[in-house]
Structure 1
Amino acid sequence: MSGAVHTVRVAGLLTRARVRGEGPPLVLVPGLGCASWMYGRVCRELARERTVYAYDPPGHGLSQGRPGFPRTFEDLTEHLSAWLDASGLGRVPLLGHSLGGELVFDLAARHPRQVSALIACAPTGIPENPRVLMQLLRLALDAPRERPLFLPPALAAYVRCGPARLLRLAQDQNRHQTGPLLPHVLAPTLLLDGTSDPVIQAWTLEVIRRLIPHATVSEIPGGTHAVTDSFPRTVARYTLDFLREAGV
């Protein structure tokens, strides 16, 4: 993925995001163990109308981590909040994928001043996270459905994150409860559901929609769990149309 690298120091860690495009800002928040370079296809489409910041959480992608950090889901939320402030982004729309979707819900409920709109692609965490083994089994089912060229950069991202950090955060995700926070999400919200995603079941999106009454759901026929890569133009079209309609 090309683009300039935006770097700020947050909590003593160099935190990076790949930036491309022109126009109002849009922040992309990756899934667990994922990295900015996995989202190049959708960022190219979004960058036609937006300045896209593909953020790397601490210990992910291009960003520094430290031993034992991040340890909890709250660590991820608070780091994202601090990064937005340090980057001078103010009140912005966020697009979260997988665990990144769960993370942007958390941020919008805890720090509403920082969020103008949410787009959640295949978000995790609702109503309960499956155990780590079940998550791995579902990802194994999804892998053959993804674009072959997507798998090497995905594997590189997981290796960069490291098994200890991945396991620690996945285990903490089982403890983290997003459901009670969802009624406090006030920002306009779009939920994107890939119909061929074995990781996130369609009924979970309906649960989220009920808990965020103003949220809308759009289905992407044939969309896999990595729907941002398998259907980048469709994701971008839904996202950009939604942001225009929301006046963001």
Structure 2
Amino acid sequence: MYARLGRELARERRVFVYDPPGHGFSEGRPAYPACISHLTDHLAAWLERAGLVGVPVLGHSLGGEVIIDLAARYPSHVSALIACAPTGIPENPSVRMQLLRLLRDLPRERLALLWPGLRAYWRCGGVCMVRLARDQEAHMTGPLLGQVRVPTLLLDGLADPVIRSWTVRRIQEVLPDAVVRQIPDAPHALTDTHPRAVAAYTLNFLKDLDL
């Protein structure tokens, strides 16, 4: 999901690509992670261990929700956020609705993403995915939004049936220092389908902040 974007960003920046527990090649354990807060706490601990406290962080989809949670609960750990099609906030659809939206999105994605994407979902496992999706319905990120005090870039793919533009705009209304950039024809996995556009917006955002 982040490989193509990581290569683009690495032209100008040192990039760390993080796999949360139970995702990618990072092993979780039974019943962990059980909720979004577990993912946030693990990311905070990883940033501390890696000596990266205070860096800009980028997250896509559920990762976008996690980094906003991180900025609210661990404000010293980040200097800026780049949230690409962040899920769950302020809209928390049912698990069934999330699945239907993802199915609608599949034909819009790159075919080359299909196999590695399926492998990643297989490694994560259906139980973990449903557990995290259900937690989104109760996750208190909405109230936490008002606690975010770092500059935030929200990236909105205009061909994304999963996270719609009105959701991104509602997030912007609550975040005190958020800007929105829209990418035409970008589906939900915009980090994969439009890595150059995402990288360009990200790098320009960070340059404007002198970060």
Q: TM-score range by the shorter chain?
A: over 0.9
Which residue identity is paired with 1:54? Answer: V
* 1:110-125 aligned within 5 A: 110-125=73-88
Whole-angstrom CA distance in 1 between matches of 2:92 and 2:15: 29
What stretches of structure 1 of length at least 5 have no aligned partner?
Answer: 1-37
Task: Give 1:148's match in structure 2, choosing from 102, 108, 111.
Answer: 111
Indicate the SS of the match to 1:117.
strand
Structure with higher helix content: 2
1:157 maps to what in 2?
A: 120
- Any conservation in 1 of the 2:149–2:176 contact (CA below 8 Å)? no
2:181 maps to what in 1?
A: 218
Task: Give 1:97's match in structure 2, choosing from 44, 60, 63.
Answer: 60
Indicate the SS of the match to 1:184.
coil
Whole-angstrom CA distance in 2 between matches of 1:90 and 1:115: 6
Which residue identity is paired with 1:86? Answer: R
- Give deviations 1:38-78, integer Å, cap 9, x for gaps: 21111110001111111100011111211110111111111
2:156 maps to what in 1?
A: 193
Indicate whether 1:58 and 2:21 are aligned.
Answer: yes
1:16 maps to what in 2?
A: none
Indicate whether 1:205 and 2:168 are aligned.
Answer: yes
- Any conservation in 2 of the 1:125–1:177 contact (CA below 8 Å)? no
User: 1:213 Cα deviation (Å)?
Assistant: 2.5
Per chain length, whose mean CA-contact separation is higher, i.e. which structure has more relative contact order (CA < 8 Å, sep 6+)?
2
* 1:1-248 aligned within 5 A: 38-248=1-211
Whole-angstrom CA distance in 2 between matches of 1:171 and 1:183: 23
1:4 maps to what in 2?
A: none
Indicate the SS of the match to 1:89.
coil
* Residues paired across the two proteins, number: 211
User: 1:126 Cα deviation (Å)?
Assistant: 1.8
Indicate the SS of the match to 2:56.
strand
- Any conservation in 2 of the 1:71–1:165 contact (CA below 8 Å)? yes
**What is the TM-score of this pair, normalised by structure 2?**
0.98
Indicate the SS of the match to 2:82.
strand
**What is the TM-score of this pair, normalised by structure 1?**
0.84
- Give deviations 1:7-57, integer Å, cap 9, x for gaps: xxxxxxxxxxxxxxxxxxxxxxxxxxxxxxx21111110001111111100
- Any conservation in 2 of the 1:98–1:124 contact (CA below 8 Å)? yes
Which residue identity is paired with 1:214? Answer: D
- Any conservation in 2 of the 1:118–1:190 contact (CA below 8 Å)? yes
What stretches of structure 2 of length at least 5 have no aligned partner?
Answer: none
User: 1:214 Cα deviation (Å)?
Assistant: 1.6
Q: Please tell me the root mean square deviation across aligned C-alpha atoms, in Å.
A: 0.8
Which residue identity is paired with 1:112? Answer: P
- Any conservation in 1 of the 2:5–2:198 contact (CA below 8 Å)? yes
User: 1:171 Cα deviation (Å)?
Assistant: 0.9
Moved beyond 3 Å, runs of 4+: none
Whole-angstrom CA distance in 1 between matches of 2:176 and 2:182: 18
- Any conservation in 2 of the 1:94–1:104 contact (CA below 8 Å)? yes
| Percent identity over paired residues | 61
